[in-house]
Structure formats: structure tokens, C-alpha cells
Amino acid sequence: MYAAEAPPSRPALTVPELRRMKQDGRPIVALTAYDAGFAAVLDAAGVDLVLVGDSLGMVVQGEASTLPVTVDQIVYHSAAVARGLRSALLVADMPFGADATPERALDAGLRLLKEGRAAMVKIEGAGVKLETIRFLVEREIPVCAHLGLTPQSVHRLGGYKVQGRELAAAERLKAEAQAVEAAGASALVLECVPSSLAAAITREVGIPTIGIGAGADCDGQVLVLHDLLGLGVRRPRFVKDFLQDGGSIAGAVRAYAEAVRSRAFPAAEHGYA
């Protein structure tokens, strides 16, 4: 795993560059990572954006959901990942409850940027979170929004289910996407929404959309690294086992990056109607 090729010379990706990638039609390649070794592999393979996701609660800690993850844990893993990166943009998840108020989110966000060395934080949801997004952005903390299936809402949603299939729900997601952009979000993750809805949202907002189970028309794609490597207990519909194709961890990440940039992944079978 640690014998990755030296990363090619490429400038460090910045938050404003994400919007330029959308404007230029350059797909954004994103993956999760939780330590320096894997981060170095991702960076060497040309991954654009690395997310320290609260998914670490499930794939690293063995929890049943992301809810137990703490700010301290995200800070710890984000700092470790930062040591393995040279060019990729580092995004850190805001754990459940850390953004309950704008003031609490500011305290967490400052730690994620200062101690965790992230360049952006990711916040799930809209509604009352819009004030928080605006509050952080006005205080120089870039935000990536997250709509659709929001894992921190697992109890309210009754499980991990596709969102936005009904007309009213689809219209609500479109309105929320426009609202998070207006609040100042610099990017938007769309998780487990119908491909046609994700395509419509991508056309309607000026910020880049990064899909996970949201079809091929998003401006970029993200997967949980463990899922990409086939290490999960079960493989979600939107995941392809790139380790089988790539032959090694580094090869799997390269294969994923190439497939996203060529828009060969995700294919129709990786999305939802």
C-alpha cells in the first residue's frame, strides 16, 4: 500500500478551482481516506478531493451508523490524512451534533481547519443548517453541503433509502440545492437520489455537484474507499469493486479516477430511477 508511485507535479487544488472544473466540464474525482498511507496513494493516483468522512465510524470503528463519531476523531483522522496529501483538496465531515447551532459549528469548523488542516467542511442537510452554512462561510470556513440521503438522519429517514423519488420530495431537494448555494456552499454532495433528479440539480446550480449513487451527470463522483476496494460487508448498488480491475490498491484508485474522468463510471446500473 505504501509503495505508491511519486505523485506527478500538479498544483494543489483550491476551493475556487472546484467551480472552474464544473464550468470547464472536468469531472471531479473524490474518495474518502482516514490515514496518511491511503491518503498518499489517493494523491499519487490523481484524486482531486479527499474526504475524511464520518463514514469512519462504520468502516474503521465498526459502528452501526455514523452517529457516534466525534469532532476529536475527525480532527485526528483529518490531520493524519493531511500528512499524506500534496495536491488533493482535503474536506472534513462535520460530525452529528457538532453543527447543532452556528456557534457550535464554528468551534468545530475552526478545529477542523486549524488542527485537522482541512480546507473545507461538509455539512448534511438544509433547513436550519442554512443559517449555519452562511455563518461559517462569513467567517472564512468553506462549506460543502450534502443533500439526498443524509446518513446522520438515519433514524428520521427510517434507514438508508433513496430520496427524492416522489414529485414533492424531488421539488424539495431542488429548492434545498438552490438554498445551500445561496447560503454560500462551494460544493454539493448528492447521495442516493434518482439520476434524473441529480442531473436536473446539477444543471440548475452554479456550484459543483459530487454524486454518490446519483448517476453520471453530476460534476464529480465520490465513494467510500473501503467500498471501492470491496472491503465492506455488503456492496451498495452504486459501488463497483475497482480492486478486481486494478489488481492492487494503487491500481484500483487509478482505475476509479480514470473511469470517473472518462464518465465510464458510474454506469446506469450504479444509479437509481
Active site residues: 191
Q: What is the largest CA-CA distance in the chain?
A: 50
Round to whole Å and give the CA distance between 43 and 111: 23
| Residues in CB range of 64: below 8 A, 6 or more apart | 58
3-state secondary structure of 273: coil
Q: Strand runs (DSSP E) across 141-264, as ranges?
A: 143-148, 187-191, 209-212, 220-223
* End-to-end Cα spacing for the chain: 37
* Residues in the chain, overall count: 273
β 49-52/89-93 pair status: parallel
